[in-house]
Structure 1
Amino acid sequence: MSYTRFLLPILAGLMITTASAQTKPVPPPPAHAKPPSPAVTDDFIHKQFGDNCSLLDGPAQFVADLDDDGVDDLVVAAKCKNPMADKDEYSFVVADPYDSFLGFGNVKVTSSFGSDAPERRGVSLLIIHGEGHDAWRAETPKAKFLLINLPFKTLTVKRLTLKKKTVLGIYMEETGEGENISSVVFWDGKKYKYQPLGSTME
Protein backbone atom coordinates (compact mmCIF):
# COMPACT_ATOMS: atom_id res chain seq x y z
CA MET A 1 0.00 0.00 0.00
CA SER A 2 2.76 2.43 0.93
CA TYR A 3 4.50 1.63 -2.37
CA THR A 4 1.34 2.54 -4.30
CA ARG A 5 0.98 5.80 -2.38
CA PHE A 6 4.58 6.60 -3.31
CA LEU A 7 4.04 6.00 -7.03
CA LEU A 8 0.79 7.93 -7.43
CA PRO A 9 2.30 11.45 -7.03
CA ILE A 10 5.08 10.58 -9.49
CA LEU A 11 2.63 9.31 -12.10
CA ALA A 12 0.43 12.37 -11.63
CA GLY A 13 3.43 14.65 -12.11
CA LEU A 14 4.42 12.87 -15.30
CA MET A 15 0.90 13.20 -16.69
CA ILE A 16 0.84 16.94 -15.95
CA THR A 17 4.26 17.43 -17.57
CA THR A 18 3.20 15.50 -20.67
CA ALA A 19 -0.02 17.47 -20.96
CA SER A 20 1.87 20.75 -20.63
CA ALA A 21 4.31 19.73 -23.36
CA GLN A 22 1.46 18.79 -25.67
CA THR A 23 -0.32 22.11 -25.17
CA LYS A 24 2.78 24.29 -25.57
CA PRO A 25 1.77 27.12 -27.91
CA VAL A 26 3.35 27.26 -31.34
CA PRO A 27 5.35 30.50 -31.76
CA PRO A 28 3.84 32.89 -34.30
CA PRO A 29 5.60 33.25 -37.67
CA PRO A 30 7.98 36.19 -38.02
CA ALA A 31 6.59 39.52 -39.18
CA HIS A 32 6.91 40.38 -42.85
CA ALA A 33 9.86 42.48 -44.01
CA LYS A 34 9.41 46.18 -44.70
CA PRO A 35 11.56 48.93 -46.22
CA PRO A 36 13.55 51.16 -43.85
CA SER A 37 12.06 54.58 -43.30
CA PRO A 38 13.84 56.76 -44.15
CA ALA A 39 15.90 54.77 -46.63
CA VAL A 40 19.49 53.93 -45.76
CA THR A 41 22.10 56.27 -47.23
CA ASP A 42 25.77 55.94 -48.11
CA ASP A 43 26.65 58.01 -45.04
CA PHE A 44 25.12 55.34 -42.82
CA ILE A 45 26.91 52.55 -44.71
CA HIS A 46 30.25 54.35 -44.46
CA LYS A 47 29.76 54.75 -40.72
CA GLN A 48 29.02 51.06 -40.17
CA PHE A 49 31.20 49.39 -42.83
CA GLY A 50 33.74 52.00 -43.93
CA ASP A 51 34.28 54.19 -46.98
CA ASN A 52 35.11 51.18 -49.17
CA CYS A 53 31.42 50.18 -49.17
CA SER A 54 28.66 52.06 -50.98
CA LEU A 55 25.04 51.23 -51.71
CA LEU A 56 24.27 49.28 -54.86
CA ASP A 57 21.62 50.83 -57.08
CA GLY A 58 18.68 48.60 -57.87
CA PRO A 59 18.01 46.00 -55.14
CA ALA A 60 15.49 46.94 -52.47
CA GLN A 61 16.42 47.59 -48.83
CA PHE A 62 14.77 45.50 -46.11
CA VAL A 63 14.11 45.67 -42.39
CA ALA A 64 13.24 42.30 -40.84
CA ASP A 65 14.03 40.11 -37.82
CA LEU A 66 16.47 37.74 -39.50
CA ASP A 67 17.96 36.21 -36.34
CA ASP A 68 14.60 35.70 -34.59
CA ASP A 69 15.45 37.70 -31.46
CA GLY A 70 12.49 40.08 -31.66
CA VAL A 71 14.60 43.04 -32.83
CA ASP A 72 14.62 44.43 -36.38
CA ASP A 73 17.67 43.86 -38.58
CA LEU A 74 18.77 45.51 -41.83
CA VAL A 75 19.60 44.02 -45.25
CA VAL A 76 21.04 46.12 -48.08
CA ALA A 77 23.04 45.42 -51.23
CA ALA A 78 26.34 47.22 -51.67
CA LYS A 79 29.63 47.31 -53.52
CA CYS A 80 32.68 46.87 -51.29
CA LYS A 81 36.22 47.21 -52.60
CA ASN A 82 38.28 45.47 -49.92
CA PRO A 83 36.16 44.08 -47.07
CA MET A 84 38.95 42.09 -45.41
CA ALA A 85 40.91 45.30 -44.84
CA ASP A 86 38.05 47.01 -42.99
CA LYS A 87 36.45 44.20 -40.99
CA ASP A 88 38.44 44.77 -37.79
CA GLU A 89 38.22 48.55 -37.90
CA TYR A 90 34.42 48.46 -38.23
CA SER A 91 33.76 45.22 -36.32
CA PHE A 92 31.94 43.23 -38.97
CA VAL A 93 32.19 39.60 -40.05
CA VAL A 94 33.08 38.79 -43.65
CA ALA A 95 31.32 35.58 -44.69
CA ASP A 96 30.88 33.65 -47.93
CA PRO A 97 27.83 31.37 -47.63
CA TYR A 98 27.80 30.65 -51.37
CA ASP A 99 31.34 29.30 -51.66
CA SER A 100 31.02 27.57 -48.28
CA PHE A 101 28.10 25.64 -49.75
CA LEU A 102 30.32 24.69 -52.70
CA GLY A 103 33.04 23.45 -50.35
CA PHE A 104 35.34 26.47 -50.20
CA GLY A 105 35.27 27.48 -46.55
CA ASN A 106 38.24 29.83 -46.21
CA VAL A 107 36.95 33.38 -46.63
CA LYS A 108 40.52 34.70 -46.80
CA VAL A 109 40.84 32.77 -50.05
CA THR A 110 37.35 33.24 -51.47
CA SER A 111 37.45 37.00 -50.81
CA SER A 112 40.06 37.17 -53.56
CA PHE A 113 37.73 35.51 -56.09
CA GLY A 114 36.78 38.06 -58.71
CA SER A 115 33.80 38.02 -61.05
CA ASP A 116 34.45 37.91 -64.78
CA ALA A 117 31.87 40.68 -65.14
CA PRO A 118 33.32 44.04 -64.03
CA GLU A 119 29.92 45.27 -62.83
CA ARG A 120 29.72 42.32 -60.41
CA ARG A 121 33.06 42.86 -58.71
CA GLY A 122 32.66 43.74 -55.06
CA VAL A 123 28.90 43.16 -55.01
CA SER A 124 28.02 42.26 -51.43
CA LEU A 125 25.14 41.90 -49.02
CA LEU A 126 25.34 43.95 -45.82
CA ILE A 127 23.38 42.77 -42.78
CA ILE A 128 23.08 44.48 -39.40
CA HIS A 129 21.56 42.60 -36.46
CA GLY A 130 19.75 45.14 -34.33
CA GLU A 131 20.22 45.79 -30.62
CA GLY A 132 17.82 47.35 -28.14
CA HIS A 133 15.30 50.10 -28.80
CA ASP A 134 17.21 51.56 -31.77
CA ALA A 135 17.51 48.10 -33.38
CA TRP A 136 19.71 48.19 -36.50
CA ARG A 137 20.27 51.93 -36.12
CA ALA A 138 21.94 51.42 -32.72
CA GLU A 139 25.34 53.05 -32.29
CA THR A 140 26.73 49.59 -31.51
CA PRO A 141 24.57 46.93 -33.19
CA LYS A 142 24.40 43.34 -32.00
CA ALA A 143 26.42 42.11 -35.01
CA LYS A 144 27.32 43.10 -38.57
CA PHE A 145 27.94 40.86 -41.57
CA LEU A 146 29.32 41.46 -45.05
CA LEU A 147 28.40 38.55 -47.31
CA ILE A 148 30.53 38.20 -50.43
CA ASN A 149 30.27 36.33 -53.74
CA LEU A 150 26.48 35.96 -53.68
CA PRO A 151 25.34 35.89 -57.33
CA PHE A 152 22.10 37.83 -56.86
CA LYS A 153 20.39 40.14 -59.31
CA THR A 154 17.21 40.63 -57.28
CA LEU A 155 16.49 40.29 -53.57
CA THR A 156 13.43 39.82 -51.41
CA VAL A 157 12.96 38.88 -47.76
CA LYS A 158 10.14 36.53 -46.84
CA ARG A 159 9.30 33.55 -44.68
CA LEU A 160 11.22 30.30 -44.94
CA THR A 161 10.06 27.08 -43.30
CA LEU A 162 12.85 24.93 -41.92
CA LYS A 163 12.50 21.59 -40.18
CA LYS A 164 11.57 22.96 -36.76
CA LYS A 165 10.45 26.55 -37.27
CA THR A 166 9.69 29.37 -39.66
CA VAL A 167 12.30 32.10 -40.10
CA LEU A 168 12.92 34.92 -42.54
CA GLY A 169 15.18 34.22 -45.49
CA ILE A 170 16.82 36.43 -48.10
CA TYR A 171 15.61 35.07 -51.43
CA MET A 172 17.68 35.69 -54.54
CA GLU A 173 17.20 35.44 -58.27
CA GLU A 174 20.68 34.58 -59.45
CA THR A 175 22.79 35.84 -62.31
CA GLY A 176 25.88 34.46 -64.02
CA GLU A 177 26.31 30.68 -63.85
CA GLY A 178 23.07 30.40 -61.88
CA GLU A 179 21.01 32.49 -64.30
CA ASN A 180 17.27 31.94 -63.73
CA ILE A 181 17.96 29.93 -60.57
CA SER A 182 16.50 30.94 -57.21
CA SER A 183 18.24 30.50 -53.88
CA VAL A 184 17.98 31.67 -50.30
CA VAL A 185 20.32 32.81 -47.54
CA PHE A 186 19.21 32.41 -43.94
CA TRP A 187 20.52 32.65 -40.37
CA ASP A 188 20.84 29.19 -38.79
CA GLY A 189 21.49 30.47 -35.28
CA LYS A 190 25.26 30.70 -35.72
CA LYS A 191 25.95 31.86 -39.27
CA TYR A 192 24.37 32.69 -42.62
CA LYS A 193 23.86 29.70 -44.91
CA TYR A 194 23.19 29.52 -48.64
CA GLN A 195 20.76 27.00 -50.09
CA PRO A 196 19.54 26.56 -53.67
CA LEU A 197 15.78 26.34 -53.70
CA GLY A 198 14.46 22.88 -54.31
CA SER A 199 17.15 21.28 -52.13
CA THR A 200 16.52 20.02 -48.62
CA MET A 201 16.91 22.66 -45.92
CA GLU A 202 19.24 21.67 -43.10
Structure 2
Amino acid sequence: MDEQGPAEAAARQPAEREIGVGPWQGPWPAGEHYDPELLREGDRRNVTDEYRYWSHDAIVADLDARRHNFHVAIENWQHDFNIGTVVRTANAFLAKEVHIIGRRRWNRRGAMVTDRYQHVRHHPSVEDFVAWAESERMPVLGVDLFPDSRPIETYALPKRCVLVFGQEGPGLSEEVREAATDTLSIAQFGSTRSINAGTAAGIAMHAWIRQHRFTD
Protein backbone atom coordinates (compact mmCIF):
# COMPACT_ATOMS: atom_id res chain seq x y z
CA MET A 1 0.00 0.00 0.00
CA ASP A 2 1.35 3.43 -0.96
CA GLU A 3 2.09 5.75 1.92
CA GLN A 4 0.38 9.14 1.83
CA GLY A 5 1.82 12.40 3.01
CA PRO A 6 -0.23 14.91 5.04
CA ALA A 7 -1.12 16.94 1.95
CA GLU A 8 -2.32 13.90 0.00
CA ALA A 9 -4.34 12.63 2.98
CA ALA A 10 -5.99 16.03 3.46
CA ALA A 11 -6.88 16.20 -0.21
CA ARG A 12 -8.69 12.88 0.03
CA GLN A 13 -10.88 14.03 2.93
CA PRO A 14 -14.44 15.09 2.00
CA ALA A 15 -14.90 18.86 1.95
CA GLU A 16 -16.57 20.26 5.06
CA ARG A 17 -20.16 21.29 4.33
CA GLU A 18 -20.59 25.04 4.47
CA ILE A 19 -23.60 26.22 6.45
CA GLY A 20 -25.51 29.31 5.42
CA VAL A 21 -24.34 32.00 3.02
CA GLY A 22 -21.46 34.42 2.86
CA PRO A 23 -21.52 38.23 2.61
CA TRP A 24 -24.11 39.72 0.28
CA GLN A 25 -22.74 40.22 -3.22
CA GLY A 26 -23.67 43.39 -5.08
CA PRO A 27 -25.85 46.31 -4.00
CA TRP A 28 -27.54 45.70 -0.67
CA PRO A 29 -31.29 44.98 -0.77
CA ALA A 30 -33.73 47.52 0.61
CA GLY A 31 -35.91 46.76 3.61
CA GLU A 32 -35.82 47.28 7.37
CA HIS A 33 -35.99 43.52 7.94
CA TYR A 34 -32.43 43.07 6.69
CA ASP A 35 -29.60 43.01 9.23
CA PRO A 36 -26.60 45.13 8.08
CA GLU A 37 -24.13 42.98 10.01
CA LEU A 38 -25.40 39.79 8.38
CA LEU A 39 -25.30 41.38 4.95
CA ARG A 40 -21.72 42.42 5.59
CA GLU A 41 -20.41 39.29 7.34
CA GLY A 42 -22.67 36.53 6.01
CA ASP A 43 -25.50 34.54 7.57
CA ARG A 44 -24.52 31.17 9.06
CA ARG A 45 -27.66 30.65 11.15
CA ASN A 46 -29.96 27.63 10.97
CA VAL A 47 -32.80 29.44 9.18
CA THR A 48 -34.70 28.78 5.96
CA ASP A 49 -33.57 30.52 2.79
CA GLU A 50 -36.45 33.00 2.89
CA TYR A 51 -35.04 34.42 6.16
CA ARG A 52 -31.43 34.76 5.06
CA TYR A 53 -29.95 38.09 6.15
CA TRP A 54 -33.09 39.01 8.12
CA SER A 55 -32.69 40.33 11.65
CA HIS A 56 -33.79 38.12 14.52
CA ASP A 57 -36.63 40.47 15.50
CA ALA A 58 -37.90 40.63 11.92
CA ILE A 59 -38.01 36.83 11.67
CA VAL A 60 -39.94 36.49 14.94
CA ALA A 61 -42.39 39.20 13.87
CA ASP A 62 -43.04 37.44 10.58
CA LEU A 63 -43.53 34.09 12.33
CA ASP A 64 -45.90 35.69 14.85
CA ALA A 65 -48.11 36.90 12.02
CA ARG A 66 -48.48 33.34 10.70
CA ARG A 67 -48.44 31.09 13.78
CA HIS A 68 -50.96 28.28 14.02
CA ASN A 69 -53.59 28.15 16.74
CA PHE A 70 -52.32 25.12 18.62
CA HIS A 71 -50.05 25.16 21.67
CA VAL A 72 -47.78 22.43 23.01
CA ALA A 73 -47.01 21.67 26.66
CA ILE A 74 -44.62 19.21 28.27
CA GLU A 75 -44.10 18.30 31.91
CA ASN A 76 -40.58 18.83 33.25
CA TRP A 77 -40.10 17.38 36.72
CA GLN A 78 -36.76 15.63 36.09
CA HIS A 79 -35.05 17.83 33.47
CA ASP A 80 -36.50 15.82 30.57
CA PHE A 81 -33.99 15.66 27.70
CA ASN A 82 -36.85 15.60 25.17
CA ILE A 83 -37.86 19.22 25.72
CA GLY A 84 -35.33 20.61 23.27
CA THR A 85 -36.68 18.31 20.56
CA VAL A 86 -40.24 19.36 21.36
CA VAL A 87 -39.30 23.04 21.04
CA ARG A 88 -37.49 22.45 17.76
CA THR A 89 -40.46 20.54 16.34
CA ALA A 90 -42.91 23.19 17.57
CA ASN A 91 -40.89 25.76 15.67
CA ALA A 92 -40.96 23.61 12.52
CA PHE A 93 -44.76 23.30 12.70
CA LEU A 94 -45.18 26.95 13.76
CA ALA A 95 -46.95 26.31 17.07
CA LYS A 96 -48.27 29.34 18.90
CA GLU A 97 -46.34 28.60 22.12
CA VAL A 98 -44.54 25.87 24.01
CA HIS A 99 -45.44 25.55 27.71
CA ILE A 100 -43.02 23.92 30.13
CA ILE A 101 -44.70 22.66 33.31
CA GLY A 102 -42.54 22.12 36.37
CA ARG A 103 -38.85 22.96 36.52
CA ARG A 104 -37.86 26.17 34.76
CA ARG A 105 -34.48 24.94 33.54
CA TRP A 106 -34.40 22.58 30.57
CA ASN A 107 -31.77 21.15 28.24
CA ARG A 108 -31.65 23.49 25.24
CA ARG A 109 -29.18 21.47 23.20
CA GLY A 110 -31.86 19.57 21.29
CA ALA A 111 -33.60 22.83 20.37
CA MET A 112 -30.75 23.72 17.99
CA VAL A 113 -31.23 27.45 18.75
CA THR A 114 -34.87 27.35 17.59
CA ASP A 115 -35.93 28.56 21.05
CA ARG A 116 -34.80 32.00 19.88
CA TYR A 117 -37.69 32.01 17.42
CA GLN A 118 -40.27 30.00 19.36
CA HIS A 119 -42.24 31.48 22.26
CA VAL A 120 -41.69 29.39 25.40
CA ARG A 121 -43.73 29.95 28.58
CA HIS A 122 -43.01 28.45 32.00
CA HIS A 123 -45.61 27.21 34.48
CA PRO A 124 -44.28 26.21 37.92
CA SER A 125 -47.17 23.82 38.53
CA VAL A 126 -49.95 21.96 36.77
CA GLU A 127 -52.40 24.18 38.63
CA ASP A 128 -50.83 27.29 37.11
CA PHE A 129 -50.89 25.74 33.63
CA VAL A 130 -54.54 24.69 33.95
CA ALA A 131 -55.47 28.18 35.16
CA TRP A 132 -53.84 29.65 32.04
CA ALA A 133 -55.69 27.18 29.77
CA GLU A 134 -59.02 27.98 31.41
CA SER A 135 -58.43 31.72 31.13
CA GLU A 136 -57.79 31.27 27.38
CA ARG A 137 -60.67 28.80 26.99
CA MET A 138 -58.09 26.47 25.53
CA PRO A 139 -59.02 22.76 25.46
CA VAL A 140 -56.33 20.61 27.08
CA LEU A 141 -55.61 17.36 25.20
CA GLY A 142 -53.24 14.91 26.83
CA VAL A 143 -51.26 12.51 24.66
CA ASP A 144 -50.56 9.17 26.34
CA LEU A 145 -51.60 5.52 26.34
CA PHE A 146 -54.50 5.05 28.72
CA PRO A 147 -57.35 2.52 28.49
CA ASP A 148 -59.79 5.35 27.73
CA SER A 149 -57.51 7.27 25.33
CA ARG A 150 -59.00 8.03 21.94
CA PRO A 151 -57.01 7.35 18.73
CA ILE A 152 -55.42 10.57 17.50
CA GLU A 153 -55.64 9.20 13.95
CA THR A 154 -59.44 9.60 13.93
CA TYR A 155 -59.88 12.35 16.53
CA ALA A 156 -61.18 15.74 15.35
CA LEU A 157 -58.58 18.07 16.83
CA PRO A 158 -59.92 21.56 17.65
CA LYS A 159 -58.32 24.49 15.83
CA ARG A 160 -57.52 26.02 19.21
CA CYS A 161 -56.05 23.52 21.64
CA VAL A 162 -52.99 22.65 23.69
CA LEU A 163 -51.39 19.23 23.24
CA VAL A 164 -49.79 18.05 26.47
CA PHE A 165 -47.05 15.46 26.86
CA GLY A 166 -45.78 13.87 30.04
CA GLN A 167 -42.36 13.26 31.46
CA GLU A 168 -40.33 10.59 29.65
CA GLY A 169 -40.97 7.38 31.55
CA PRO A 170 -43.92 8.07 33.86
CA GLY A 171 -45.92 9.87 31.17
CA LEU A 172 -48.73 12.30 31.91
CA SER A 173 -49.25 13.17 35.55
CA GLU A 174 -52.59 12.40 37.13
CA GLU A 175 -53.21 16.14 37.57
CA VAL A 176 -52.90 16.80 33.83
CA ARG A 177 -54.98 13.75 33.00
CA GLU A 178 -57.80 14.98 35.22
CA ALA A 179 -57.68 18.45 33.64
CA ALA A 180 -57.68 17.14 30.06
CA THR A 181 -60.78 17.27 27.90
CA ASP A 182 -59.59 14.01 26.34
CA THR A 183 -56.45 11.91 26.24
CA LEU A 184 -55.25 10.72 22.85
CA SER A 185 -53.22 7.68 21.89
CA ILE A 186 -50.89 7.11 18.93
CA ALA A 187 -51.24 3.78 17.15
CA GLN A 188 -48.27 1.45 17.66
CA PHE A 189 -47.59 -1.96 16.14
CA GLY A 190 -44.36 -3.20 17.68
CA SER A 191 -43.38 -4.90 20.92
CA THR A 192 -42.76 -1.91 23.18
CA ARG A 193 -45.51 -0.18 25.08
CA SER A 194 -44.58 3.43 24.34
CA ILE A 195 -42.60 5.73 22.08
CA ASN A 196 -40.23 8.58 22.91
CA ALA A 197 -41.99 11.72 24.16
CA GLY A 198 -40.25 13.92 21.59
CA THR A 199 -41.34 11.59 18.79
CA ALA A 200 -44.91 11.48 20.11
CA ALA A 201 -44.99 15.29 20.16
CA GLY A 202 -43.93 15.47 16.53
CA ILE A 203 -46.60 12.97 15.46
CA ALA A 204 -49.32 14.81 17.39
CA MET A 205 -48.35 18.21 16.00
CA HIS A 206 -48.33 16.84 12.47
CA ALA A 207 -51.80 15.36 13.07
CA TRP A 208 -53.02 18.91 13.77
CA ILE A 209 -51.24 20.19 10.66
CA ARG A 210 -52.83 17.52 8.47
CA GLN A 211 -56.32 18.34 9.75
CA HIS A 212 -56.14 22.12 9.59
CA ARG A 213 -53.22 23.43 7.55
CA PHE A 214 -54.11 21.62 4.33
CA THR A 215 -57.89 21.74 4.57
CA ASP A 216 -58.61 25.40 5.48
Normalising by structure 1, what TM-score?
A: 0.25
Q: Of Structure 1 and Structure 2, which has the larger fraction of its residues in strand?
A: 1
Q: Of Structure 1 and Structure 2, which has the larger fraction of its residues in helix?
A: 2
